[in-house]
Amino acid sequence: MNADQSDGMGRDAMQPVRMTWVEVKRTAGVLLFVTGLLLATPTAADAPPPAVGVAAVTLENITPSARYTGRAEAVDRVELRARVQGFLEQRLFEEGREVKAGDLLFVIEKGPYEAILAQREAQVKVAEGDVETAAAQLARGEQLLRGNNIPAAEVDERRARLLVDQAQVLAAQAAVRAAELDLAYTEIRAPIAGRIGRSAFSVGALVGPDSGPLATIVSQDPVFVTFPVSQATLTRMRQEAIAQGAPDEVVVRATLPTGDVYAHPGTVAFAEVEVQPGTDTLSIRANFPNPDRLLTPGQFLGVVVELGEPTPALTIPTAAVLIDQAGPYVLVVGDGDVVEQRRVTFGRGAEDGTRSVIAGGLLEGERVIVEGIQKVRPGQRVTAAPVSRASAS
């Protein structure tokens, strides 16, 4: 390569790139567009603080209580059975409805039993006629005996025949009473008040003592609720009842499946006499009024046993409580609306289950997050707005 060639290549490399006016405008437009996008994109520092709902830590009067799960049971449950055999002629109730004690529910054919009763009553008449005849013969024999016109043995025989005929009258009368009972058994009435279930037999079916239950009646008011309690809790229940001057009355409240507190408190009606060795618990039966029929035998209920007088305590909505491996905590909105994590300890449970009693970690009036918890973290600034007590629960 000679010097001329080398100089030529160097001059070509050092020459500036020339662009047309169209290319310049196109490049400038792209740069302006990118700059606009960068200016329009907000940074994390410019984003508004997330909104959260908060509830204040409040001081309330809380009754110390223990919570259990119980099952409602009917006080009375009766299976209706046929006591005589026959075809079912009538069913006089609507399945699933309530009936009153004494209501006529089923009628079994009466004809055969009416005929038997008439026959037994006729047998009584026959037996009574035999008694009259035997009595007359005995009186005649005794008269003849006084004139020595008949042997004494004959009179004794007539006296014995009268006694036998009198016994036949008693037997015939007993048979009448049995026939009357059988006829009465053709009508099956409600022995208790309550709700009657499905009929197991249709009209026209042959039923009898071996047919099984025709239907079942379950009483509705009051209702038992049975639940297990520890021996220690039972002792506290009794101590509290004695302290209040009512050793036989311990107040028990129920929580419905909807979460609502049942309006009518119950009382402990029965406690098992022995502790179950495997669980160290006793079965308790509480008696609850059920005028509105909200309690149904067989359903599960929450049970709250009151263990003392109401005392002041700090409470927060249970929805504010979070739990990790280290235990329970809440997120508090502190000074400057900055979120902080706060460990808490619990006291005895509140009565309605929607609020938690706090024994330590919070002060009255502090704000805990109940809505939007998943959107924030400790150290973050938030926009806090109070929520109603109903919403927080």
Q: What is the pLDDT of residues 85-109, one digit of tens each?
A: 999 999 999 999 999 999 999 999 9
Residue pair 331/369 in contact (Cβ under 8 Å)? The answer is yes
pTM: 0.62
Name the DSSP class of 121.
H
CATH number, span 51-63+311-392: 2.40.420.20
The angle at the Cα of 386, spanning 380 to 388, to the nearest 5 degrees, equals: 140
- The architecture (CATH level 2) of 65-74+220-306 comes to Beta Barrel (2.40)
Q: Which of 103-112, 235-244, 276-285 has the lowest mean pLDDT?
A: 235-244
**Per-residue tokens: 349:** 């449970």
CB 268, CB 284: distance < 8 Å:
yes
Q: Which listed CATH number (1.25.40, 1.10.10, 1.10.287, 1.20.1050) goes with 111-184? A: 1.10.287
Contacts of 183 (CB under 8 A, 6+ apart): 110, 113, 114, 116, 117
pLDDT digits (tens, 9 = 90+) for 355-382: 888 889 999 999 999 999 998 999 999 9
Buried b (16+ CB within 10 A) or exposed e, 375-391: ebeeeeebebeebeeee
What percent of the chain clears pLDDT 70, i.e. is strictly above it?
81
Distance CA 290, CA 293 (A): 5
CA distance linking residue 84 with residue 109, whole number of Å: 10
Spans of all domains in the chain: 51-63+311-392, 65-74+220-306, 83-108+186-217, 111-184
Check whether 11 has a pLDDT greater than 80.
Answer: no
CATH class of 83-108+186-217: mainly beta
Q: What is d(CA 207, CA 84) in angstroms, rounded to the nearest whole number?
A: 8
Let me know: does 288 contact 261? Beta carbons within 8 Å.
no
The number of beta carbons lying within 10 Å of the beta carbon of residue 74 is 22
Least confident of 16-25, 212-221, 275-284: 16-25
Residue 24 pLDDT greater than 90, yes or no: no
Write down the pLDDT at residue 217: 95
Q: From 236, 199, 229, select the one nearest 216 (Cα to Cα).
A: 199
**Exposure letters 134-171 (e unless 16+ CB within 10 A, then b):** bbebbeebeeebeeeebeeeebeebeebbeebbebbee
Are 183 and 113 within 8 A, CB to CB? Answer: yes
Please give the average per-residue pLDDT across 55-84, as a whole number: 89
Average pLDDT over residues 262-271: 86
In the predicted model, is pLDDT for residue 391 greater than 80?
no
End-to-end CA distance of the chain: 91
Residue 204 pLDDT > 80:
yes
Highest mean pLDDT (candidates 233-237, 336-340, 350-354): 336-340
3-state secondary structure of 262: coil
- Residue 154, φ and ψ in degrees, nearest 5: -65, -40
What integer pLDDT is reported at residue 36 of this predicted model? Answer: 54
- Cis peptide upstream of residue 265 (ω within 30 degrees of 0): no
Q: Tokens in use for 308? A: 């003392």
Q: What is the reported pLDDT for 249?
A: 61
pLDDT for 145 beyond 50: yes
pLDDT at residue 3 greater than cutoff 50: no
